Each structure stands twice: as structure tokens, then as C-alpha cells.
Structure 1
Amino acid sequence: MNLTTQKRLAADILKVGVNRIWIDPERIDEVSRAITRDGVKQLIKDGAIKAKPKKGISSYRSKKIAQQKKKGRRRGPGSIKGAKGARKPRKEEWMTTIRALRKDLRKMRDNREINKSTYRKLYKMAKGGAFKSKSYMKTYARDHDMLR
């Protein structure tokens, strides 16, 4: 039997979607004879037509994932989003490097491993980005006989 009209009317009356309308399988004949709004309203009152409850969304999975993240899981390369420079900006990277180089240069100058003019030269080179780490800078100074 085609009950599309009855379902549509019931959905309109109950203010729910058509898919949430339930019709009692034992009273299908009775429902199919109801062609007016009043007829459908009467059937709703009698309990032959009802609105199914809303389907909820389970939060089990999201809670489980949150728990795992709390433990430090799910942080592999597949989870990384954004560019390399988005997670640690280039400027921050540079600041870390240059601070380490300058600290090392100061230490070398104070310990008399290099003189003032060498210190100034290496300082300027570091500022220019000539060295990518402290070990590179020390190797450069050793190779160019800048150490005392």
C-alpha cells in the first residue's frame, strides 16, 4: 500500500521529517483510508501513527581519542598538519640558533680563545647566516686559524 500522503501529513502535523514517521504494521489498512488531516490527527491520537525518537550521536569514539591524545598517542607523521614553518616558525628557529652562536662567541672571547677583532668578524658572519650551528662555527674558526 502507498502511504506517502499519510506519512507526509503526519510529518507535517508532528513537525518531524518524513523518515521519522512510524506506522503500526497491524493498522495499515486503517491508515491508508485516512486521507484528510483530521483523519491522520485521529490516528496519531489513537497511537497508530507515531514519531520515532531522534537519533543521537555517540561520543564514545571522540572520548576515546581524547583519552589517547592525553596519553601522548596519535602524534605520528600522519597527524601532522600545516607546513614545517607553521609548527615551528622560521624566525623562532633562527632565534634559537643565533642566540646559541652569540653565547658561544661571548664564552670564547671571555676565555681568551679568540681576540676582539676575531670575535667581531665571527659575530658579523653569524648574523649573516654563515654558520648553521656552533660546531660549524668552531670548525670554521679552527680551519682559518682564528683560535689562539
Structure 2
Amino acid sequence: MSDVASQKRVAAAILKCGVNRVWFDPARISDIENAISREDLKGLITEGVIKARQKKGVSRGRARARIAQRSYGHRKGAGRRKGAAGARNPSKTAWVQKIRAIRKVLVELRAAGTIDRHMYRILYRKAAGGQFRSVAHMKAQMEILAGRMK
């Protein structure tokens, strides 16, 4: 093997990469040996005789596989958990989600004319007080209330 260490060092400077990433075409080693100046080396780079190898990275493949497993419930056992159930799934978040859904349905019902302003206000206050578990529960209670008011 011929000595092309100086060419490799200069090529690394031109390519703005490390010496270990510089690749020489084995078929054109004699041309690389004869290239003394930076201009000669730049010419060989444009020809494709000298290239910079791609940077090595950390693969996301294993991470993606792990995320896929978690999506269907694996790797979520007691040994994986740090923090109380309330910290992992806050009750406030559940409440906000529920009350927004209920209030949205109430607004729709009022706009459609299914309930009047008075009934809307009664149901709104009951929802705020936590009387309904869900939208379905609220609708069931509405039917009971409507039966009493007639």
C-alpha cells in the first residue's frame, strides 16, 4: 500500500470532515499519489475519486419498535412506572375532557331547540357540580327530568 496520508489529511480539510471519513477510490490510488496541491485534490473530489463517507448515526429502529409495543400496552407494567396513578393520568385532565364534551353537547342542544334556555342553565349547573359521569349519562338524566316537568 502506498503512502497517501498527507493527501488524506488535506482532503479531509477540503471536505470539512475527519481523516477517517475520507474515502479514496482504490482503482485510482496512483492518481491520488501524484496529486500534490490542494487544487489537484479538489479536481479529484469533483471527479468522485475522493469522497467523504456518511456520518454514522444512532438508529431509531429499536426506539420505534419499543414505541409500537407501548401503543398496544406492553412495557407499561408496575416495574416501569414512576409516579402515582394521579400523576400519570391526572384527574383534572379527565375532568376537563369530560366537562368540555358535556358543555359542547349542551350548546348544540340549545342551538337546535331541543332544550330551552332555562333547562340549559339547570343542566349546565348540574354538570359543573359533577352530577353527570358522561354525555350519555347526562342525556339519560335529561329524559328523566323532562318526564318530571310534564
TM-score tier after normalising by the smaller chain length: 0.3 to 0.5
Please report the TM-score for the alignment, with normalisation by the length of structure 2: 0.47
Please report the TM-score for the alignment, with normalisation by the length of structure 1: 0.47
User: Considering only CA atoms, is the larger Rg found in Structure 1 or Structure 2?
Assistant: 1
